[in-house]
Amino acid sequence: MIIFSMASRIPDIELLRAFRQVAVDLSFTRAASAMHVTQSAVSHRVKRLERQLGKVLFRRNPHDVQLTTAGKALLTQISPALEQLERTFDHTNAQAKRVLKIELESAFASNWLTPRLGDFMAKHPDANVQFAFSTREPEFSEGTEVAIKWGKGGWSGLRSTWLMGSEVTPMYAPSLMRETPLKSTQDLTRHTLLHDRDTASWREWAKSADVKGLMIDGGHVYDDTLALQQAAIDGHGVALYPVELGQRSVARGDLIIPFPSLVFPGPGSYYLLTKPRDLSPMATSFVFWLEGAVRSLA
Protein backbone atom coordinates (compact mmCIF):
# COMPACT_ATOMS: atom_id res chain seq x y z
CA MET A 1 0.00 0.00 0.00
CA ILE A 2 1.34 3.44 -0.94
CA ILE A 3 0.68 6.26 1.51
CA PHE A 4 1.36 9.86 0.57
CA SER A 5 2.49 12.16 3.36
CA MET A 6 1.61 15.77 2.52
CA ALA A 7 1.91 17.29 5.96
CA SER A 8 5.11 19.12 5.13
CA ARG A 9 3.87 20.62 1.88
CA ILE A 10 0.36 20.23 0.48
CA PRO A 11 0.34 20.56 -3.33
CA ASP A 12 -1.68 23.33 -4.93
CA ILE A 13 -5.33 22.29 -5.24
CA GLU A 14 -5.26 23.07 -8.97
CA LEU A 15 -2.58 20.39 -9.41
CA LEU A 16 -4.69 17.88 -7.49
CA ARG A 17 -7.83 18.77 -9.47
CA ALA A 18 -5.98 18.34 -12.75
CA PHE A 19 -4.64 14.96 -11.61
CA ARG A 20 -8.08 13.80 -10.51
CA GLN A 21 -9.70 14.87 -13.81
CA VAL A 22 -7.09 13.04 -15.90
CA ALA A 23 -7.45 10.00 -13.63
CA VAL A 24 -11.22 9.97 -14.14
CA ASP A 25 -11.11 10.60 -17.90
CA LEU A 26 -7.86 8.72 -18.58
CA SER A 27 -7.16 11.40 -21.17
CA PHE A 28 -5.37 14.73 -21.00
CA THR A 29 -7.49 16.03 -23.89
CA ARG A 30 -10.84 15.16 -22.26
CA ALA A 31 -9.62 16.47 -18.90
CA ALA A 32 -8.65 19.79 -20.49
CA SER A 33 -12.09 20.07 -22.09
CA ALA A 34 -13.82 19.32 -18.78
CA MET A 35 -11.72 21.92 -16.94
CA HIS A 36 -11.98 24.50 -19.77
CA VAL A 37 -8.22 24.90 -20.03
CA THR A 38 -5.64 23.87 -22.62
CA GLN A 39 -4.22 20.35 -22.79
CA SER A 40 -0.74 21.76 -22.19
CA ALA A 41 -1.97 23.45 -18.99
CA VAL A 42 -3.33 20.14 -17.65
CA SER A 43 -0.15 18.28 -18.63
CA HIS A 44 2.00 20.96 -16.95
CA ARG A 45 0.02 20.73 -13.70
CA VAL A 46 0.25 16.96 -13.57
CA LYS A 47 4.01 17.05 -14.21
CA ARG A 48 4.43 19.62 -11.41
CA LEU A 49 2.50 17.34 -9.06
CA GLU A 50 4.65 14.35 -10.02
CA ARG A 51 7.81 16.39 -9.36
CA GLN A 52 6.52 17.51 -5.95
CA LEU A 53 5.57 13.99 -4.91
CA GLY A 54 8.58 12.35 -6.53
CA LYS A 55 6.34 9.69 -8.10
CA VAL A 56 5.09 8.87 -11.59
CA LEU A 57 1.29 8.96 -11.50
CA PHE A 58 0.46 8.03 -15.09
CA ARG A 59 1.80 5.74 -17.77
CA ARG A 60 1.65 7.85 -20.93
CA ASN A 61 1.17 5.55 -23.91
CA PRO A 62 0.87 6.66 -27.56
CA HIS A 63 -2.91 6.13 -27.59
CA ASP A 64 -4.03 6.23 -23.98
CA VAL A 65 -3.15 7.12 -20.39
CA GLN A 66 -3.17 4.69 -17.47
CA LEU A 67 -2.83 5.22 -13.73
CA THR A 68 0.24 3.76 -12.07
CA THR A 69 -0.03 2.06 -8.71
CA ALA A 70 1.02 5.32 -7.07
CA GLY A 71 -1.60 7.19 -9.11
CA LYS A 72 -4.39 4.82 -8.02
CA ALA A 73 -3.36 5.22 -4.39
CA LEU A 74 -3.31 9.01 -4.63
CA LEU A 75 -6.72 9.10 -6.31
CA THR A 76 -8.21 7.00 -3.53
CA GLN A 77 -6.72 9.20 -0.81
CA ILE A 78 -7.53 12.66 -2.20
CA SER A 79 -10.95 12.17 -3.81
CA PRO A 80 -13.00 12.36 -0.59
CA ALA A 81 -11.13 15.49 0.55
CA LEU A 82 -11.58 17.26 -2.80
CA GLU A 83 -15.27 16.39 -2.90
CA GLN A 84 -15.73 17.80 0.60
CA LEU A 85 -13.91 21.00 -0.36
CA GLU A 86 -16.10 21.41 -3.44
CA ARG A 87 -19.26 20.97 -1.35
CA THR A 88 -17.97 23.53 1.13
CA PHE A 89 -17.21 26.12 -1.53
CA ASP A 90 -20.51 25.49 -3.28
CA HIS A 91 -22.20 26.28 0.02
CA THR A 92 -20.41 29.63 0.29
CA ASN A 93 -20.76 30.46 -3.39
CA ALA A 94 -23.30 33.19 -2.71
CA GLN A 95 -20.65 35.21 -0.87
CA ALA A 96 -18.01 34.45 -3.51
CA LYS A 97 -20.22 35.94 -6.23
CA ARG A 98 -19.11 39.40 -5.13
CA VAL A 99 -15.52 38.50 -6.02
CA LEU A 100 -14.49 39.39 -9.56
CA LYS A 101 -11.21 37.79 -10.60
CA ILE A 102 -9.78 39.02 -13.89
CA GLU A 103 -6.80 37.54 -15.71
CA LEU A 104 -4.89 40.07 -17.80
CA GLU A 105 -1.47 41.51 -18.55
CA SER A 106 0.04 43.97 -16.09
CA ALA A 107 0.58 46.61 -18.79
CA PHE A 108 -3.09 46.62 -19.77
CA ALA A 109 -4.15 46.68 -16.12
CA SER A 110 -1.85 49.58 -15.20
CA ASN A 111 -2.28 51.74 -18.29
CA TRP A 112 -5.82 51.11 -19.48
CA LEU A 113 -8.11 49.27 -17.08
CA THR A 114 -7.12 50.66 -13.67
CA PRO A 115 -7.56 54.35 -14.64
CA ARG A 116 -11.13 53.54 -15.74
CA LEU A 117 -12.02 51.05 -13.00
CA GLY A 118 -13.29 53.75 -10.65
CA ASP A 119 -16.37 54.11 -12.84
CA PHE A 120 -17.16 50.40 -12.51
CA MET A 121 -16.58 50.48 -8.74
CA ALA A 122 -18.90 53.48 -8.39
CA LYS A 123 -21.63 51.44 -10.06
CA HIS A 124 -20.79 48.27 -8.10
CA PRO A 125 -19.35 49.32 -4.71
CA ASP A 126 -19.72 45.79 -3.30
CA ALA A 127 -17.40 44.29 -5.93
CA ASN A 128 -14.13 42.74 -4.78
CA VAL A 129 -11.89 42.99 -7.85
CA GLN A 130 -8.83 40.75 -8.03
CA PHE A 131 -6.22 40.80 -10.80
CA ALA A 132 -4.35 37.66 -11.89
CA PHE A 133 -1.43 38.70 -14.10
CA SER A 134 -0.37 36.52 -17.02
CA THR A 135 1.52 37.27 -20.23
CA ARG A 136 1.15 33.90 -21.90
CA GLU A 137 -1.74 31.58 -22.71
CA PRO A 138 -4.95 32.02 -20.67
CA GLU A 139 -4.71 30.05 -17.43
CA PHE A 140 -8.08 30.72 -15.77
CA SER A 141 -6.85 29.79 -12.32
CA GLU A 142 -9.40 28.96 -9.62
CA GLY A 143 -12.13 31.60 -9.43
CA THR A 144 -11.20 33.45 -12.64
CA GLU A 145 -14.23 34.14 -14.83
CA VAL A 146 -12.93 36.78 -17.22
CA ALA A 147 -9.65 37.27 -19.05
CA ILE A 148 -8.46 40.15 -21.24
CA LYS A 149 -5.78 38.94 -23.61
CA TRP A 150 -3.70 40.43 -26.40
CA GLY A 151 -3.25 38.22 -29.44
CA LYS A 152 -4.79 37.10 -32.71
CA GLY A 153 -7.75 35.15 -31.34
CA GLY A 154 -8.46 31.44 -31.62
CA TRP A 155 -8.19 30.30 -28.00
CA SER A 156 -9.50 26.75 -27.93
CA GLY A 157 -12.29 25.98 -25.47
CA LEU A 158 -12.98 29.62 -24.61
CA ARG A 159 -15.47 32.22 -25.75
CA SER A 160 -13.62 35.05 -27.44
CA THR A 161 -14.94 38.58 -28.09
CA TRP A 162 -12.89 41.20 -29.92
CA LEU A 163 -12.54 44.33 -27.80
CA MET A 164 -10.25 46.70 -29.66
CA GLY A 165 -7.27 46.83 -31.94
CA SER A 166 -3.77 47.94 -31.07
CA GLU A 167 -1.69 50.62 -32.79
CA VAL A 168 2.05 50.95 -32.28
CA THR A 169 4.65 53.66 -32.78
CA PRO A 170 8.20 54.31 -31.50
CA MET A 171 8.49 55.89 -28.04
CA TYR A 172 11.57 56.91 -26.06
CA ALA A 173 12.62 58.80 -22.96
CA PRO A 174 13.36 62.57 -22.81
CA SER A 175 16.87 61.74 -21.54
CA LEU A 176 17.54 59.71 -24.67
CA MET A 177 16.12 62.48 -26.83
CA ARG A 178 18.62 64.93 -25.36
CA GLU A 179 21.52 62.54 -25.98
CA THR A 180 20.56 61.22 -29.43
CA PRO A 181 17.46 62.93 -30.79
CA LEU A 182 15.24 61.26 -33.35
CA LYS A 183 14.93 63.96 -36.01
CA SER A 184 14.16 61.45 -38.75
CA THR A 185 13.40 57.75 -38.94
CA GLN A 186 16.94 57.06 -40.13
CA ASP A 187 18.17 58.23 -36.72
CA LEU A 188 16.67 55.00 -35.35
CA THR A 189 19.77 53.24 -36.69
CA ARG A 190 21.74 54.93 -33.90
CA HIS A 191 19.50 53.54 -31.14
CA THR A 192 18.92 50.22 -29.43
CA LEU A 193 15.50 48.86 -30.32
CA LEU A 194 13.29 47.39 -27.59
CA HIS A 195 10.93 44.57 -28.59
CA ASP A 196 7.65 43.29 -27.19
CA ARG A 197 7.88 39.47 -27.13
CA ASP A 198 9.65 39.18 -30.50
CA THR A 199 11.09 41.25 -33.34
CA ALA A 200 8.07 40.91 -35.65
CA SER A 201 6.41 44.19 -34.64
CA TRP A 202 9.48 46.32 -35.35
CA ARG A 203 9.97 44.48 -38.63
CA GLU A 204 6.39 45.20 -39.73
CA TRP A 205 6.56 48.81 -38.57
CA ALA A 206 9.79 49.43 -40.50
CA LYS A 207 8.18 47.98 -43.61
CA SER A 208 5.06 50.15 -43.21
CA ALA A 209 7.15 53.28 -42.51
CA ASP A 210 9.58 52.45 -45.33
CA VAL A 211 12.56 52.60 -42.97
CA LYS A 212 15.63 50.62 -43.96
CA GLY A 213 18.86 49.72 -42.23
CA LEU A 214 17.51 49.16 -38.71
CA MET A 215 19.41 46.71 -36.49
CA ILE A 216 16.20 44.90 -35.61
CA ASP A 217 17.81 41.64 -34.50
CA GLY A 218 20.27 43.46 -32.25
CA GLY A 219 17.81 44.90 -29.74
CA HIS A 220 16.43 43.68 -26.43
CA VAL A 221 13.32 41.49 -26.20
CA TYR A 222 10.87 41.67 -23.27
CA ASP A 223 8.09 39.17 -22.64
CA ASP A 224 6.28 41.60 -20.34
CA THR A 225 4.91 44.76 -21.97
CA LEU A 226 5.05 46.71 -18.70
CA ALA A 227 8.75 45.86 -18.35
CA LEU A 228 9.24 47.05 -21.92
CA GLN A 229 7.57 50.35 -21.05
CA GLN A 230 9.76 50.83 -17.99
CA ALA A 231 12.90 50.06 -19.99
CA ALA A 232 11.95 52.79 -22.45
CA ILE A 233 11.24 55.26 -19.63
CA ASP A 234 14.63 54.46 -18.10
CA GLY A 235 16.33 55.30 -21.41
CA HIS A 236 17.49 51.81 -22.40
CA GLY A 237 16.35 52.24 -25.99
CA VAL A 238 13.43 53.01 -28.29
CA ALA A 239 10.35 50.88 -27.74
CA LEU A 240 7.71 50.12 -30.33
CA TYR A 241 4.83 50.58 -27.93
CA PRO A 242 1.01 50.46 -28.14
CA VAL A 243 -0.41 53.97 -28.29
CA GLU A 244 -3.44 53.00 -26.17
CA LEU A 245 -1.11 51.89 -23.36
CA GLY A 246 1.45 54.67 -23.63
CA GLN A 247 -0.87 57.70 -23.54
CA ARG A 248 -0.52 58.33 -19.81
CA SER A 249 3.28 58.07 -19.90
CA VAL A 250 3.35 60.49 -22.81
CA ALA A 251 1.01 62.89 -21.00
CA ARG A 252 3.25 62.81 -17.91
CA GLY A 253 6.34 63.46 -20.01
CA ASP A 254 7.90 60.07 -19.25
CA LEU A 255 7.89 59.09 -22.92
CA ILE A 256 8.00 60.96 -26.22
CA ILE A 257 6.45 59.99 -29.55
CA PRO A 258 8.96 61.26 -32.13
CA PHE A 259 6.94 60.32 -35.23
CA PRO A 260 3.24 60.91 -34.47
CA SER A 261 2.29 60.40 -38.11
CA LEU A 262 3.88 56.93 -38.20
CA VAL A 263 1.33 55.00 -36.15
CA PHE A 264 0.42 51.62 -37.62
CA PRO A 265 -1.75 48.65 -36.58
CA GLY A 266 0.03 46.20 -34.31
CA PRO A 267 0.14 42.45 -34.93
CA GLY A 268 -2.63 41.67 -32.41
CA SER A 269 -5.78 42.92 -30.73
CA TYR A 270 -7.34 42.81 -27.28
CA TYR A 271 -9.93 40.10 -26.65
CA LEU A 272 -12.36 39.37 -23.84
CA LEU A 273 -12.26 35.68 -22.93
CA THR A 274 -14.72 33.70 -20.84
CA LYS A 275 -15.36 30.04 -20.22
CA PRO A 276 -18.28 28.43 -22.08
CA ARG A 277 -20.63 28.60 -19.12
CA ASP A 278 -22.82 31.15 -17.37
CA LEU A 279 -21.04 34.00 -15.65
CA SER A 280 -21.78 35.19 -12.14
CA PRO A 281 -23.88 38.37 -11.89
CA MET A 282 -20.77 40.39 -10.98
CA ALA A 283 -18.78 39.09 -13.94
CA THR A 284 -21.76 39.74 -16.23
CA SER A 285 -21.92 43.32 -14.98
CA PHE A 286 -18.20 43.78 -15.58
CA VAL A 287 -18.41 42.47 -19.16
CA PHE A 288 -21.32 44.84 -19.87
CA TRP A 289 -19.37 47.77 -18.37
CA LEU A 290 -16.12 46.88 -20.20
CA GLU A 291 -17.82 46.67 -23.60
CA GLY A 292 -19.42 50.06 -22.93
CA ALA A 293 -16.07 51.57 -21.93
CA VAL A 294 -14.51 50.34 -25.17
CA ARG A 295 -17.42 51.65 -27.27
CA SER A 296 -17.01 55.09 -25.71
CA LEU A 297 -13.53 55.30 -27.27
CA ALA A 298 -14.83 54.86 -30.82
pLDDT (tens digit per residue) in 234-267: 999 999 999 999 999 999 999 999 999 999 999 8
CATH superfamily for 166-267 is Periplasmic binding protein-like II (3.40.190.10)
pLDDT at res. 4 = 42
pLDDT at res. 158 = 93
pLDDT at res. 91 = 56
Q: Is 187 left (phi over 0), alpha (psi -120 to 50) or beta?
A: alpha
- Which residues does the chain have with pLDDT short of 50? 1-8, 96
Taking the domain 13-91, which CATH number applies? Answer: 1.10.10.10
Please enumerate in sequence order all residues whose Cβ is within 8 A of that of 14, keeping only pairs 6 or more positions apart, or say none: 45, 141, 142
Q: pLDDT per residue over 108-155, tens digit each?
A: 999 999 999 999 999 999 899 999 998 778 989 888 999 999 998 889
pLDDT at res. 9 = 63
Tell me whether the CATH fold assigned to 13-91 matches the one assigned to 166-267: no
Domain ranges of the chain: 13-91, 96-164+269-295, 166-267
**Helix spans in the chain (H):** 13-25, 28-35, 39-53, 69-91, 93-96, 106-108, 114-123, 174-179, 200-209, 225-233, 243-252, 281-295
Class (C level, CATH) for 96-164+269-295: alpha beta
Calpha distance 257→260 (Å, rounded): 6
The reported pTM is 0.66
